[in-house]
């Protein structure tokens, strides 16, 4: 899927919601455990119910991999279902992969060829040759981790403290260099471009959205961290939305596990609609719908 098609979807559904299929078998409704493939049955029901309000789905691969080859079966069935039932939605393998070139090539094969996802999340630590094999696929996307939503994000992604201290000791404040996440965003624009690369920027880091948009004004951003993790959708839209929306905001637990009863899919749909209504308002404010 290309950027224009994604933007068309957003305008059509008046939503930039991505539903995270973090379908932990220990958290899905108990009555589904009698199904042949409980996780796929859960995903199918969630997809059917939330599709009117959703432009993207993002299974986090850990929830499947932790169940071994059975989990892979559930994942393959889920992506096949999405590709058949709703070829217009954007699909993201939240895998956070990245390895030396010949190995990243195999991860690309797994997620882009075998399973036909539109996008994969990739960790930048190993640099260009760990990312470029994913960029060789036409109409597929790399979503590079830039500034994640978790506490540990500050350990390395904000790295420049030693420098700051060294310079402060010298009474110099104005030449502070870029933080690591800024360097990731700037350097990686030499590898890919707005049509095949997005960045992960956590909703919990809204202070940094202005900086992110200075460096990447046109790129789409995948934004986790609203809901359970505490980020604000208004703040994200205020600092992060661009003229093609430029945002996919993810919600996982807040939607898919809103009820664990027989009504789980209906309640998930309600929650997704609430988020979509809020998004519609924000898109209207920006004059995009």
Question: Toward a copy of itself, which CB reaches closer, 171 or 287?
Answer: 171
Alpha-carbon span 236 to 209, nearest angstrom: 7
Which of 9, 41, 43, 149 lies at the binding interface for a copy of itself (CB under 8 A)? 149
**Is 175 a binder of a copy of itself (CB under 8 A)?**
yes
> What would you report as the CA-atom Rg of the chain, rounded to the nearest whole angstrom?
19
Question: Toward a copy of itself, which CB reaches closer, 256 or 279?
Answer: 256
Task: Let me know: does 128 contact 100? Beta carbons within 8 Å.
Answer: no
Residue 267 DSSP SS3: helix
Alpha-carbon span 105 to 215, nearest angstrom: 28
**Binding to a copy of itself, residues 93-122 (CB under 8 A):** 96-101, 103-104, 106-107, 109-110, 114-115
**Binding to a copy of itself, residues 4-23 (CB under 8 A):** 22
Which of 8, 24, 48, 260 lies at the binding interface for a copy of itself (CB under 8 A)? 24
**Is 210 a binder of a copy of itself (CB under 8 A)?**
no
State residue 231 phi and psi, 5-degree precision: -75, 160
Alpha-carbon span 241 to 220, nearest angstrom: 9
Taking Cα atoms as reference points, which of 203, 163, 180, 194 lies closest to residue 124?
180
Which of 125, 234, 243, 261 lies at the binding interface for a copy of itself (CB under 8 A)? 125
**Is 214 a binder of a copy of itself (CB under 8 A)?**
no
Which of 5, 88, 136, 155 lies at the binding interface for a copy of itself (CB under 8 A)? 155
**Binding to a copy of itself, residues 243-272 (CB under 8 A):** none
Alpha-carbon span 153 to 157, nearest angstrom: 6
- Residue of 11, 77, 96, 238 with catalytic role: 96
Which of 45, 47, 142, 145 lies at the binding interface for a copy of itself (CB under 8 A)? 145
Take residue 140 and report the two structure tokens written for it: 């597929």
Q: Which residues pair with 197 in a beta bridge?
A: 142
Taking Cα atoms as reference points, which of 274, 271, 277, 275 lies closest to residue 289?
277
Active site residue 96: yes
Residue 60: DSSP 8-state? B
As annotated, the active-site residues are 96
Contacting residues toward a copy of itself, per CB under 8 A: 22, 24, 60, 62-63, 65-70, 72-73, 76, 96-101, 103-104, 106-107, 109-110, 114-115, 123-131, 145, 148-157, 159-160, 162-163, 166-167, 169-170, 172, 175, 177-178, 180, 183-184, 187
């Amino acid at each position: 899927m290309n950027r224009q098609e994604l933007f068309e979807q957003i305008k059509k559904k008046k939503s930039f919601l991505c539903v995270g299929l973090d379908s932990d078998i220990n958290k899905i409704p108990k009555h589904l455990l009698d199904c042949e493939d409980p996780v796929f049955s859960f995903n199918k029901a969630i997809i059917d119910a939330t599709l009117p309000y959703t432009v993207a789905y993002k299974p986090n691969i850990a929830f499947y991999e932790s169940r071994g080859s059975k989990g892979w079966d559930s994942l393959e069935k889920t992506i096949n279902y999405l590709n058949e039932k709703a070829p217009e939605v954007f699909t993201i393998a939240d895998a956070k992969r990245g390895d030396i070139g010949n190995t990243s090539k195999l991860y690309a094969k797994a997620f882009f060829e075998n399973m036909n996802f539109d996008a994969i999340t990739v960790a930048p630590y190993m640099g260009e040759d760990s990312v470029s094999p994913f960029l060789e696929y036409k109409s597929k996307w790399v979503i590079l981790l830039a500034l994640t939503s978790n506490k540990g994000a500050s350990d390395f992604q904000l790295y420049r403290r030693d420098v700051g201290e060294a310079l402060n000791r010298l009474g110099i404040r104005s030449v502070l260099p870029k933080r690591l996440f800024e360097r990731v965003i700037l350097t990686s624009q030499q590898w890919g471009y707005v049509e095949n690369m997005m960045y992960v920027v956590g909703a919990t880091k809204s202070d940094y959205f202005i900086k992110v948009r200075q460096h990447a004004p046109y790129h789409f951003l995948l934004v986790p961290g609203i809901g359970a993790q505490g980020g604000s959708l208004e703040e994200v839209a205020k600092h992060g939305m661009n003229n093609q929306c430029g945002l996919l905001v993810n919600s996982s637990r807040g939607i898919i596990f809103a009820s664990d009863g027989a009504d789980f899919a209906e309640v998930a749909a309600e929650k997704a609609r609430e988020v979509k209504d809020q998004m519609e308002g924000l898109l209207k404010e920006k004059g995009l719908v």
